Each structure stands twice: as C-alpha cells, then as structure tokens.
Amino acid sequence: MTPSSSDPTVLNNTFHFESSTHTFDIKWTSLGATTLQPLIFIHGTPWSSRVWAPFALALSRKYRVYLFDNPGFGDSPIEQILPDVHFSPKNEVEGLDSNLARQTSAFAALFKHWETTESWKTAPQVVAHDHGGLMSLRANLLHDCRYSSLCLIGVVAIGPFGQPLFKSVAENPTAFENLPDMAFEGILESYIRNAAHTTMNAGTMGVLKAPWLAEGGKKGFVRQLCQAANRNTEEVERRYVEVGRSFPVKIIWGKQDNWIPVEDAHRLGEALGAKEVVEIEAAGHLVMYDQPGQLGVELGMWLASLGV
C-alpha cells in the first residue's frame, strides 16, 4: 500500500530545522520544472501528503508543486526536544508533538528554505486541508510567509472546535495507547470512514491507515487526537481580514462534512474576505476522495482565474 520508489510523489528530500527547543526532520519532494510558479499542498490530521498525490501529478505540468509530511505524520518523524533543553509545557497536551504552533514554525522554516534555494520568482499558490488551513494562516500572519493565493479545503481555522472523541482521548491518553492492536485498528478505521461521505475502497483505506499501524503509530495517533482540540487560533483569528486584503482566497467544503460543518465555510469566508465559497455535494471531510473530479475542476478553475 506504500508508494513505489519510481513514484514521483515519493518524499525523497529531508529538511532539518531546529527551533529553540525542538528539532524537526521534514520529508518533502517537488514536481515540475523549476521555472514554473510554485504551488504548495498542505495536509491535515491524521493524513499525509499522499492525499494530494494525484492532484500534484496533474498540476505539475503547469506548476512547480511541493509536497511534504508534517512532523509526526506520514514519512516525517515526530519532533524531538533538543538535548539539554529544559522544555516545560503548560500541560500534557501543549507538550505533544502535534502542537500546531510548533508545526507552523517548522513549515515556515521549510517555506523560507524553498524560497531561497529554489529561487522563486513569484510567491507560491497554496492549497491546504484540515489543520493545514490554520498552519497556512499562521505562517502568513505570524511568520511573514507571502502567498499569491490561498485555497482552503474543509479547514480547521475558526472556532468553536471539538469532537467528543478528541475530549475523551485527551482526558485519558494512556488508556487509548494501551488498547489491543485489533481494537485500535477498529477505532482508527471507523474514524477515517467517518471523514468520508462515500464508501472508501480497501486500497485507499490501507494508504490512510498505514502510518498509524506502523511501529509507534498507535502512540502517535493518540497524541494527534489529544492535540486536536487545542487549535492555536487566538493569535490569528482576529486578524483574518488582513488575509483577504493581501491575496485572493477561495474556500471549498464538502457539503456533508461530519467533522466540520459546512456553515463554518461561510463564516470563515466572511472573516477572510474570500472571493468565493464552494460547497461540493456528496462529499464529506475527505473531499479529495469523495469527489476527486469535482475538486480537481475547482482547483483548476481557481488557478486559471488567477491568470497563472
């Protein structure tokens, strides 16, 4: 179920980054000619860059496309505390590897690495899903990452947040980590299925489950769920109006999203000053699997409308 070595979407580069407290090794790749305008895809939780593979391949004819796995997701190992650093999180959840403030700082460092080493002539177009949306907004507003446009797909970005499962796991993470493997896989599969509106085939399910069934995956998955209710929006949500004034924004949402209600798409669109908000029928949170054709058309029309 893993991509072959001949697959151009395999993440064959590693970016090493150290903050004042943590170290990160982010796996990434790029597709398309270096002379083309950059296009970055950002995944959310509990996914990886694999959700973007077919779209990246198609668009690499016209763009220099960048894929990467966030720390602790897919092929990227979890962040590590630097040796001899006394790191004192406010609470157990704040200290987990999926802290979105730290994830964003790592992405911003990777973004600026690309900006310099790839000699970008123009600012990139950015497409983000789930918590990748909040990462993209934080990177722009707090880390001065400049975009030409931003397309947000079923993103975590505007409160209130919270699913009952997140709260349950955060209250007793050890109990979930100690679940028998069979029970854990059942919860994992149910969780993933709930993100889709259409029936997911075994191959797709296998790709999405694989990172969390590998060694250390169970603990990693539990840590992601613990962190999921802690969204790190306070510093940026009041500044969303600045985003739409700086570059065009499009929002795409699955109309049957069980994770984040479609009403949030319109609230977010108003807050950001988005140019358009599109609801995709017969699609849940995983729009890219429920309605890949329509999503591809929407992305193509959006990028074409920007004149690039």
Q: Give residue-wise pLDDT tens across range 166-204.
A: 777 777 778 888 899 999 999 999 999 999 999 999 999
Say which CATH architecture domain 13-305 belongs to. 3-Layer(aba) Sandwich (3.40)
Please check whether residue 214 is in contact with residue 140, taking contact to mean a CB–CB distance below 8 angstroms. Answer: no
> Is 199 buried (19+), middle (13-18) or exposed (0-12) by CB count in 10 A?
exposed
Distances (CA, A) of 80 to 22, 42, 46, 56, 186: 5, 21, 19, 30, 29
The domain spans of the chain are 13-305
The predicted model scores a pTM of 0.93
Reported as a single tens digit per residue, the pLDDT across 96-114 is 556 788 899 999 999 999 9
Chain position carrying tokens 């950015």? 126
- Say how many CA atoms lie within 13 Å of 3 toward its Cβ: 18
Task: Report the C-alpha gap between 118 and 33 in whole angstroms.
Answer: 11
Please check whether residue 205 is in contact with residue 189, taking contact to mean a CB–CB distance below 8 angstroms. Answer: yes
Per-residue pLDDT of the chain (308 residues; tens, 9 = 90+): 456 567 889 999 999 999 988 899 999 999 999 999 999 999 998 999 999 999 999 999 999 999 999 998 999 998 888 888 877 766 655 555 567 888 999 999 999 999 999 999 999 999 999 999 999 999 999 999 999 999 999 998 987 666 667 777 777 778 888 899 999 999 999 999 999 999 999 999 999 999 999 988 888 888 887 766 556 677 899 999 999 999 999 999 999 999 999 999 999 999 999 999 999 999 999 999 999 999 999 999 999 999 86
Please check whether residue 48 is in contact with residue 73, taking contact to mean a CB–CB distance below 8 angstroms. Answer: yes
